[in-house]
């Protein structure tokens, strides 16, 4: 699934890794770091905001609903179709691991392991309204345990995010323009469509040149584009395949949403459910909310389906089942993967993230960046 960083998140300064990929002299290693973590006051303030938003949106969803009708919708759901939706979503997750393996080129790691690492990161990301653990854990496992090059991991993570953002925004933007109930909102999506289109164009054309513009060189998004272009230009066929995998991943997630809709007898076209599923995932990851996007996700689904005249109770039943399909699998995979890696407690996870920060800050000319 695509993940958008929010306030108080750890960020990675990728610039030195990008310069190393280009064969240039790295920046001063004191500049190669993850930004300072949020203070307790910032965490508390953001946590309070996220909790308030999540509860408020959840209340708007369940206020004045007919509970017996909701129960009837849930009890009459087709379990077989829900299981198919689960399989489609897991397959979409595997495609993320496969794409990461593709852009890592000759790294000694399997797509299956990358799939489990991605799923674990997603689970850690959704358990907290403040996203701070996922990328640090992913980087820590691959660099400190699998002994992969730090610069390569940082650059390919940027590449993953760029592909996911670009394909999601493009598909949702196309849906907003083509689907009649959504056309009234097209001005709000114009900026997103333009940014998504530019991100894909810059991936293949102007990324490295932008890094040399003084006014833009310090922007993280420009650095991400530069890194992605450097990797992709080395193999055009690999680049095209990575893009195709990204589109297939997004469509599989949307198809899973359509299967759940069929399970609760919502008769809307597959194109509608693809746009709604991807759009609400984007919305729930960008807006502050409770862990697992509780309330935020349901609010987005119910209001989106309301544009097509779907009853509130039926829409809530769909949102609850789709929520389970999209959010529970990463948790189950994390429960399997973390014990296997010896990360059985929060203290061990914190120790791994601390070691990752230290490794990035003091990497110097270590084996990870050779």
**pLDDT value at position 81?**
96
**pLDDT value at position 17?**
42
Query: Rounded distance, CA 140 to CA 354, Å?
Result: 9
**Per-residue confidence of the chain (370 residues) as pLDDT tens digits?**
434 343 333 333 344 444 444 444 444 333 444 445 556 676 677 777 777 888 888 888 888 888 888 899 899 999 999 999 999 999 999 999 999 998 887 778 899 999 999 999 888 888 765 666 677 788 888 888 888 877 777 778 877 887 888 888 888 888 888 888 888 777 767 766 676 666 666 655 655 565 566 655 555 545 555 655 666 666 678 878 888 999 999 999 999 999 999 999 999 999 999 999 999 998 888 787 788 888 889 999 999 999 999 999 999 999 999 999 999 999 999 999 988 888 877 778 778 877 777 766 655 444 433 3
CA 151, 124, 2, 250: dihedral to nearest 10 degrees?
Answer: 110
Cβ(282)–Cβ(290) below 8 Å: no
User: Exposed/middle/buried for 59, CB within 10 Å: 0-12, 13-18, 19+?
Assistant: exposed
Instruction: State the greatest distance between any 2 C-alpha atoms of the chain, in Å, as a whole number.
Output: 67
Closest CA to 353 of 129, 79, 141: 141
**pLDDT value at position 114?**
94
Q: Which residues face 12 on adjacent strands?
A: 34
Buried/exposed code over 184-221 (b: 16+ C-beta within 10 A; e: otherwise) = eeeeebeebbeebeebbebbeebbbebbeeeeeeeeeb
Closest CA to 101 of 87, 88, 112: 112
Closest CA to 282 of 171, 127, 178: 171
Task: Find the length of the chain.
Answer: 370
Closest CA to 141 of 115, 117, 110, 112: 117
Handedness of CA 155, 158, 164, 169 (dihedral sign): negative
Please count the CA atoms within 13 angstroms of the CA of 352 that sit on its side-chain side: 24
Query: Rounded distance, CA 368 to CA 370, Å?
Result: 6
């Amino acid at each position: 699934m695509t993940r958008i960083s929010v306030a108080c998140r750890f960020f990675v300064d990728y610039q030195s890794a990008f310069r190393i990929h280009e064969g240039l002299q790295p920046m001063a290693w004191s500049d190669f770091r993850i930004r300072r973590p949020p203070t307790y006051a910032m965490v508390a303030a953001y946590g309070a905001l996220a909790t308030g938003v999540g509860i408020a949106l959840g209340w708007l969803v369940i206020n004045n609903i007919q509970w017996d009708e909701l129960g009837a919708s849930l009890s009459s759901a087709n379990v077989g179709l829900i299981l198919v939706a689960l399989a489609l979503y897991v397959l979409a997750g595997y495609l993320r691991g496969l794409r990461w393996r593709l852009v890592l080129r000759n790294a000694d790691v399997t797509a299956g392991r990358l799939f489990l690492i991605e799923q674990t990161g997603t689970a850690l990301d959704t358990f907290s309204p403040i996203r701070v653990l996922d990328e640090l854990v992913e980087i820590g496992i691959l660099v400190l345990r699998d002994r992969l090059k730090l610069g390569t991991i940082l650059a390919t993570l940027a590449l993953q995010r760029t592909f996911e953002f670009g394909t999601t925004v493009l598909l949702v933007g196309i849906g907003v323009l083509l689907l009649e109930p959504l056309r009234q909102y097209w001005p709000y999506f114009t900026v997103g469509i333009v940014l998504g289109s530019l991100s894909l164009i810059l991936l293949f054309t102007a990324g490295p040149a932008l890094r040399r513009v003084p006014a833009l060189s310090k922007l993280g998004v420009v650095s991400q584009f530069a890194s992605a272009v450097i990797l992709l230009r080395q193999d055009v066929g690999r680049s095209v395949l990575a893009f195709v995998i990204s589109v297939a991943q997004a469509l599989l997630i949307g198809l899973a949403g359509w299967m759940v809709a069929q399970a609760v007898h919502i008769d809307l076209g597959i194109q509608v459910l693809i746009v709604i599923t991807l759009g609400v995932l984007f919305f729930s990851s960008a807006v502050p909310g409770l862990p697992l996007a509780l309330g935020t996700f349901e609010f987005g689904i119910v209001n989106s389906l309301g544009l097509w005249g779907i009853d509130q109770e039926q829409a809530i039943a769909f949102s609850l089942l789709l929520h389970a399909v999209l959010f529970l699998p990463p948790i189950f995979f994390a429960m399997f993967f973390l014990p296997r890696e010896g990360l059985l407690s929060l203290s061990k996870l914190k120790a791994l993230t601390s070691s990752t920060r230290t490794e990035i800050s003091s990497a110097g000319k270590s084996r990870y960046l050779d």
